[in-house]
Amino acid sequence: MMSGGNYTSLDSQKISGSVPAVPDPGHTSVKFSDSNLQSFPPHQAQGKISGGSQPPRDADDTFSKPINGSEEPQQSGWFQTFTLAAYKPYFDVDTSDVLERIRDSLFPFRGTFSEKTAINPDLYGPFWICTTLIFVAASIGTFVTYVAHKIQKKKWDYDINLVTWSAGLFYGYVTIIPLGLYIILKYFSAPSGLVQLFCLYGYSLFVFIPALCLSIVPLEPVRWAVAGVAGFMSAAFVALNLRAHIKSAGERWFLIVAGIFLLQLALAIVLKLYLFTVTV
């Protein structure tokens, strides 16, 4: 005769031994595959515009292949030059970078601009500086001629050629002159990068924006002085930043630097004759 507690224990053992354990179908483990979506914000900072789109080093090669991890198809050889992906790294700058480079262009005697932009030269600043110069030159020139005609009570007509002429001058200058200089430096085996030359010449034109604004003063000596100071600052900025690179070209480096300096002064004279001078 068993007690009630022992009977319950034996009975439970029989039940557990005779009935197999069945897993609960309501608790099924599910494994999810890893998502292809990137986490936001990313764990690693990989650039300012997109991950891995760091500007390539433009020391000796032109439009060198950017090192990135994008899934965009990469073209080889010269075909890469005609794709937007080849130029994307040269616009990977923010406002602080552009302002710092503009500030350096206003202090031409430092000569450190080329060293700062050797790793990441940009085309964003030069493009907008040239575009701003075009509209400032056209608007200032139009305003000055309008006021002069009204003072003398003569008929005034808007000259659309100011826009087209200034666009051809500024865009052409920052394209043709650096390209020609790049070919010359390559001939003398001097280290230079084409994009870096575009960047240097583009920022060298910023000083002409305040100079154009000061040309409103209706005094010819003041206009000549403004054009001369702006041209000298721009020429010194380009020449001093290229002097260290051109010295490796041999004994003729001084002639190349002098030619660069005179070309910038010639640009200032052209601006004075065609934009700073009011013809009534």
Supply the pLDDT for residue 38.
40
For the chain, domain boundaries: 115-276
Supply the pLDDT for residue 53.
44
Supply the pLDDT for residue 30.
47
Residue 87 has pLDDT above 80, yes or no: no
Distance CA 257, CA 238 (A): 9
> pLDDT tens for residues 186-217?
887 776 788 999 999 999 999 999 998 888 88
Mean pLDDT of 64-91: 59
> pLDDT tens for residues 90-116?
888 889 999 999 999 999 888 889 888
Question: CA quadruple 174, 124, 246, 60: dihedral positive or negative?
Answer: negative
In order, the DSSP letters of the chain are ---HHHHHHHHHHHHHHHS-----TT-----PPPPSSPPSS-SS---SSSTT-PPPP-SSSSSPPP-----SPPP-GGGGGGSGGGTGGGG---HHHHHHHHHHHT-TTS--HHHHTSSS--SHHHHHHHHHHHHHHHHHHHHHHHHHHHHTT------THHHHHHHHHHHHHHHHHHHHHHHHHHHTT----HHHHHHHHHHHTTTHHHHHHHTTSS-HHHHHHHHHHHHHHHHHHHHHHHHHHHGGG-TTHHHHHHHHHHHHHHHHHHHIIIIIS---
Please report how the helices 194-204 and 124-151 are oriented relative to each other, as an axis angle in degrees rounded to 10.
30
Residue 265 has pLDDT above 50, yes or no: yes
> pLDDT tens for residues 15-33?
444 445 555 555 555 444 4
Find where tokens 């002098």 sit: 258
> pLDDT tens for residues 209-259?
999 888 888 788 888 899 899 999 999 999 999 887 777 666 677 888 888
CB-based contact 142:242 (threshold 8 Å)? no
> pLDDT tens for residues 139-166?
887 777 777 777 777 777 777 777 888 8
pTM of the model: 0.69
Mean pLDDT of 36-54: 43
